[in-house]
Amino acid sequence: SVFNDIKTAAVEIGSGRIELSRSDSVSYIDFKTGSVEDFDCRIQQFGNGLRFYTGGQGNTGERLRINSDGDVGIGTDAPDFPLHIFHPTSNNIALFESGDAFATMGLSDSNGSVSFLTTLGSLRIGVNGDAGTIGSNSTLAIGIKNNGYVGIGTDNPDDLLELVGTDPVLKLHDI
């Protein structure tokens, strides 16, 4: 163990671990590129969670937080969900990109799943997929081609709106 002069902080190394402790504050690891600034990046322990700071050059701010309950906040210090992303000025807050010809995103619960698949600028929405998957074995519900044509029951509509099924019916109701 290595202690500071007044024994309020220690670094302990042994048995495959590095342990940081401070009795007067939270423990942290700083990464620096020079001796002038406080730090470029920091990983800081707080209340059984972690904070991650980046920026340096006097512009360092908290970028990511993992609370003690496992909720992750990106751009927020108070995540309300398992993943909470916030940006104060941008309307574009996330991009999920595949290097393949297809990209699929799924939503799943304990009873089933839905999928959103894109390829060549078109969108397919599948429903009734297997639970716990990104929509595996789902049934096509809606397809929107890259020309704006919408298909219900088909992903290859030939007109602005096309319904495909064993007995396709379009009902319009007023309220």
| Banded pLDDT at 37 (limits 50, 70, 90) | low
pLDDT for res 25: 67
- Judge whether 155 and 162 are in contact, CB under 8 Å: no
pTM above 0.85, yes or no: no
Residue 125 tokens, joined: 């929405």
Task: Please name the residues in contact with 122: beta carbons below 8 A apart, sequence gap of 6 or more.
Answer: 143, 144, 145, 146, 155
- Judge whether 75 and 63 are in contact, CB under 8 Å: yes
Whether the per-residue pLDDT at 29 is higher than 70: the answer is yes
pLDDT (tens digit per residue) in 55-103: 876 677 899 999 999 999 999 999 999 999 999 999 988 999 999 999 9
State the Cα–Cα distance between residues 60 and 46, nearest whole angstrom. 18
pLDDT for res 5: 65
- Judge whether 44 and 26 are in contact, CB under 8 Å: yes
Residue 25 tokens, joined: 């504050």
Residue 147 tokens, joined: 């020309």
**Higher per-residue confidence, 156 vs 33:** 156
Tokens 């297997």 map to which residue? 130
Average pLDDT, the chain: 87
pLDDT (tens digit per residue) in 118-151: 999 999 999 999 999 998 999 999 999 999 999 9
**Higher per-residue confidence, 53 vs 8:** 53
For residue 3, the Cα-to-chain-centroid distance in whole angstroms is: 39
Whether the per-residue pLDDT at 108 is higher than 90: the answer is yes
| Banded pLDDT at 164 (limits 50, 70, 90) | very high
